[in-house]
Amino acid sequence: MDKVLETSEKISSMEIRGAGRIATAAAASLRDFSKAMQTESLEDFNLQMEKAADILLKTRPTAVSLSNAIRMVMKYRTEDLPSARLAVVLNANRFIENSEKALERIGQIGSRRIRDGDTVLTHCNSLAAISVISTAHKSGKKIKVIATESRPRFQGITTIGMLDKLGIETELIVDSAVRSVMNEVDLVVVGADVITANGTLVNKIGTAQIALCAHEARTSFMVAAETYKFSPRTILGELVTIEEREAKEVLPDISKYSHVRVRNPAFDVTPHQYIDLISTEVGAIPPEMSYMIIRERLGWEMEEDISD
């Protein structure tokens, strides 16, 4: 279990971060745990797998990618120990492989919306959004990217590093400069932590303000997301939990204040009315079609939840 705890700690502390990356890290961790587990009993195997899944699930509360990945890996047959072990390995490998393929496809589909000469604004650090941007660049379109810092964790610095390596012309701005530059922007592309049944987006704090600005300036707003970022449980009425992180991420020394409380929500909620399209591996869809994606791609999980 040590390795599972190690991965969990890395996810909680955000050493491993990004909705897709935490999902694949959790899948790989369950796979490796199942391979290394010393047991002769299927019952014990199941118990230990459940325990590991639970530890990983509790690391970050918002991104549905984590629970979708864990559920996909944990859906194994339990006839005998060797087949259970093998099924976990195959499920995890399939999830990781599909997730890599999805990123490529999202890039191909989403990049068609970027025209030669466009300026694209992105927020935080999303591999799905970067796939859209890098695919447009690789296809020969001359583009410029404006990246926000994304306080308090500065994921924007990771983004500019990635774009720089790809040779893409990039400008870094502070989060509050978004409105000042929006009139120069042709398209906003962001990732997703959760997309609900009605097409609402939950993504890095600041996304909703950017969407509002884009809407007011008539700038297109695209979400790039694998289908496992859609939340089946929202069909059943479940609300998305917004992670509140530690105050010290915002203000390292709060002890010198007596009447100040720091609030540090990690995500916010963007209504579907502000989203022009969602680029997924199965196509570019309007947010209103999210319900269909959940039914078609993640339907099995819904049935499971209903019977809970």
**Residues carrying an active site annotation:** 124, 193
For residue 105, state whether it binds ligand RI2 (rule: CB under 6 A): no
Starting at the edge strand found earlier in the chain, the sheet holding 169-173 runs: 169-173, 144-148, 119-122, 187-190, 220-224, 277-280, 283-285
Told to check if 287 binds ligand RI2 by CB under 6 A, we report no
Nearer to ligand RI2, 121 or 128 (CB): 128
Stretch that binds ligand RI2, among 14-22, 133-141, 179-187, 293-301 (CB under 6 A): 14-22
Q: Where are the beta strands (DSSP E) in 2-136?
A: 119-122
Cα–Cα distance for residue pair 144/51, rounded to 1 Å: 46
Contacts with ligand RI2 in 37-56 (CB under 6 A)?
none
Name the residue among 97, 89, 53, 125 with its Cα closest to residue 228: 97
For residues 50 to 89, the per-residue mask of contacts with ligand RI2, x marking binding by CB under 6 A and - elsewhere, is: ----------------------------------------
Amino acid at 49: M
d(CA 137, CA 114): 9
**Residue 197: CA atoms inside 13 Å, Cβ hemisphere, count?**
14
Please identify which residue in 4, 124, 187, 293 interacts with ligand RI2, judged by CB under 6 A: 124
Assigned token pair, 174? 């502070």
Q: Is 128 in the site for ligand RI2 (CB under 6 A)?
A: yes
In the bound state with ligand RI2, the residue whose beta carbon lies nearer, of 190 and 208, is 190
CA-based nearest residue to 138, from 104, 189, 186:
104
Residue 18 engages ligand RI2 in binding (rule: CB under 6 A): yes
- Which residues contact ligand RI2 by CB under 6 A? 17-21, 124, 126-128, 155, 190-193, 203-204, 266
